[in-house]
Structure 1
Amino acid sequence: MSRKPQVHLVNPMLNPSGGSEWRTVSLYRQLQPSAEVKIWHFREAPSEAFSGISLGKIDTRRLSFPRGGTLVFVGVYFNISHWIRLARPRRVILTYNTPDAERLAARVDLIRKTCGIEPEIVFCSRELAAQVPYRGIVEPSLVDLDAFAPTDRTGRDGFRIGRLSRDAPEKHHPEDMALYARLAEQGCEIDVLGATGEMRAAGLAPEQVHMRAIGSVKAPVFLQGLDCFFYRTAPEWPEPWGRVIIEAMASGLPVVTDRTSGASSVIEHGRNGLLFDTTEEAFELLMRLKGDPALRQSLGQAARSTAESLLSDEVRAQVQAFYLQPDAPT
């Protein structure tokens, strides 16, 4: 009886709403039936949101670290310590999902020198792949289409606009608080999951604007309570993909997002979502949705279909086949 392939996924696993963390978990779940898979974290304790996942702590003092098999670093934004010299993997895969070409180059050089093999690169979007001089594959972050499922939103009172992200300042556009206040004045309800401490302390129209701490509500439940999903980041942080956008689309929500995010590439304006360039355009589009339930429904249905196509069984099989290759391709 042949042994299952061995795959090690490495990520800090600190943020309960982090795109890299949930990319790691989704990949773990996809590969687990056909491989021996383990998620490795280090130093700090992982978020309690991942308590049901098989996790191992990298601890060189106890000689606890990945050995052999396929070694996957989900992100290049964290450091790799000297244990990599003893890991002896057959393949090393680097997931490039944050725009930092200098760090990527350093990781590629480290793997070449310590492991003696050429690392393979997985890009989260075509836009990010075009920014660096490396070849690789573009892979969507796998979203659970059963967990993020549409709900019946017909007959609801009011109009709730929601947003979900990490609570880092760069994840929020500096003009958004003023936009939320303006929308609230027009009768919209605003619900932000992953608001920064400063946003929560602002006390903006508390009866109509909800600023929630990160992790206080599970993402699928949060999205089910919305009528529309709004998303953009600060200008200094162009979103390389935006997993939360795909989660919202899978939930059957009309998405209003700016054109700078990587995930906006799957949105056809007016068919499965709405795109904007300025804050004024965003306001006008959101007010248009508020007054047009039929448009919200048609956009949401098309968004769900897009998510199903993007994350089809065929796509998932291709992802699985890539990670379960026995050796690095020549």
Structure 2
Amino acid sequence: MPDALPKPIIHLINGFMNENGGSEQEALHIARLLRDRSDLTLWSPSSRCSPELARRHGIRRIGLGAGHRPNGGTFVFVGSHWRNKLWPYLCRAPQRLIYVFNTFHPKLLSLTATHPPMLRWPRTEYVFISEFQKTLLGVDGDLQPSPIDIARFSPAPRRHPANARPVIGRLSRDTPDKHDLEDIALYRAWAGEGAEIRLQGATALRAAAEDALADAPAIRILPEGAMPAVDFLRGLDVFYYRTGAHVETFGRVVLEAMACGLPVVCHRRGGYAEWIRHGENGFLFDTTEEARRLVGALLADRALRASVGEAARRTVESIYSDDALRARADFYLRSAK
């Protein structure tokens, strides 16, 4: 019987600094897709690599010594780049060079598009996480939605009692640019209509709002990472999302909420919007008044919440089916052309 073909060598590179970061979670999910089908090593070039992530996932710190840097095979950078580092000049050049590009920054795009001739690295291949992002950047590349574990992010076995206060929630990193200050008035209005508001990753909003949220006991503000994302989402009835200065290239948390069977009400600006069919599997808005009206309709209609949430779950199941995930993994596993 002939020997089995050797598995492709893949080096997956990310800062791995924040356990709750979207870029880190994306890198780890790609690793899960590839681990059984490749000779895979996870690397961090950052001195701020999370010790817990490193221990749990076997992540190695990149250094200058032999055996402490990626060597040959396929280099996959996820939300990271190598500029101003010495180690690329010391390692064997990759056969393929892939950047999973999850930002809008043109400067980073230019940094990753070309390399010093002495490196002899191959042409850069890009993976974009939404058509929205790809179109804005105007660069060709493979399109792969940011990965989600839909076995873990799934509808709760049972909801709270029918007479309980409906819960509107939001989840994000805890930075000011992730929040729109106009949402403060919405949260107060919905709380006044009998809803409970849960905002995880919103202490930055509370600081910006000063006293506007202090006298609203139905509004609960939690720091980033206070609860596992799946547990937080499963405690909601409606997921609401709008950012401030930050523009979501994909918005993984919106798809995670949909995977949990939640009706989502989201600002139209973001990569997630291309997966939302307004009025069928979620809702999109442009103005604050539209957001107020859409959430109000969901609060008043339990059956509408259920039907839209079920459609949202079906959408996510189609995006992350076994066949779709295998096809995305195949992109990383193929040989250099």
TM-score range, shorter chain: over 0.9
Q: Matched residues in 1 for 2:331 and 2:306: separation?
A: 36
CA distance in 2, matches of 1:226, 1:50: 32
Give the match for residue 7 of structure 1. Answer: 10
User: Which runs of no fewer than 5 residues in structure 2 stay unpaired?
Assistant: none
1:222 aligns with 2:224: no
> Which residue is 2:271 aligned to?
262
Contact 1:85 1:115 in 2 (8 A): no
Deviation of residue 320 (structure 1)?
1.1
The aligned runs of 1:289-304 (5 Å cut-off) are 289-304=298-313
Deviation at 1:118, TM superposition (A): 0.1
Shift of 1:78: 7.5
How far off its partner does 1:47 sit? 6.5
Supply the distance in 1 between the matched residues of 2:57 and 2:80 (Cα, whole angstroms). 22
Q: Is the 8 A contact 2:250 2:271 kept in 1?
A: yes
SS at 2:154 equivalent: coil
Aligned to 2:296: 287
Distance 1:38 1:150 in 2: 33
Query: Which residue is equivalent to 1:143?
Result: 148
Partner Cα separation in structure 2 for residue 20 and residue 100 of structure 1: 15
Task: Give the letter aligned to residue 155 of structure 1.
Answer: P
User: Map of 1:231-250 to 2, 5 A cutoff?
Assistant: 231-234=241-244, 236-250=245-259
Deviations 1:216-275 (A, max 9, x none): 1111111111111111111x3221110111101110000000111111111111100011
Other-structure match for 1:73? 77
Match of 1:97 among 102, 109, 114: 102
1:1-330 equivalences under 5 Å are: 1-41=4-44, 42-46=46-50, 48=52, 51-60=55-64, 64-76=68-80, 79=83, 81-87=85-91, 88-110=93-115, 114-151=119-156, 152-153=158-159, 155-156=161-162, 157-197=164-204, 199=206, 202=210, 204-205=214-215, 207-234=217-244, 236-327=245-336, 329=337
Deviates more, 1:273-282 or 1:130-139: 130-139
- Size of the aligned set, in residue pairs, is 327
Distance in 2, Cα, partners of 1:228 & 1:161: 5
Distance in 2, Cα, partners of 1:212 & 1:79: 36
1:91-127 Cα offsets, whole Å, 9 max, x none, are: 1101111101121111111276624310100011111
Contact between 2:98 and 2:124, CA under 8 Å: does it hold in 1? yes
Note the C-alpha offset of 1:79.
4.9
Give TM-score scaled by structure 1 length: 0.92
CA distance in 2, matches of 1:207, 1:320: 47
Cα deviations by residue, 1:287-307 (Å, 9 ceiling, x for unpaired)? 111110000000000000000
Please tell me whether the aligned partners of residues 67 and 89 of structure 1 are also in contact (alpha carbons under 8 angstroms). yes
Name the TM-score, length of structure 2 as normaliser.
Answer: 0.91
Measured after TM superposition, the shift of residue 207 of structure 1 is 2.6
The answer as to whether partners of 1:256 and 1:282 remain within 8 angstroms in 2 is yes
- Relative distance call for 1:195 and 1:184 in structure 2 (3 A) is same
3-state SS of paired residue (1:93): strand
After superposition, the Cα gap between the structure-2 partners of 1:220 and 1:51, relative to the gap in structure 1 and judged at 3 Å, is farther
Q: Report which stretch shifted further, 225-234 or 129-138.
A: 129-138
CA positional deviation for 1:2: 3.0
AA of the residue aligned to 1:119: T
CA contact (8 A) 1:18 1:165 kept: no
Q: Is the 8 A contact 1:77 1:98 kept in 2?
A: no
CA–CA distance in 2 between the matches of 1:237 and 1:279?
17
Q: CA deviation at 1:277?
A: 0.5
User: Structure 1 pair 144/96, CA: closer, same or farther in 2 (3 Å)?
Assistant: same
Structure 2 distance, partners of 1:50, 1:176, is 37
Question: What secondary structure, in the 3-state scheme, does the structure 2 residue paired with 1:319 have?
Answer: helix
- Moved runs in structure 1, 4+ residues, more than 6 A? none
Matched to 2:187, the amino acid is: Y
**Aligned CA distance change for structure 1 residues 136 and 153 (closer, same or farther; 3 Å):** same
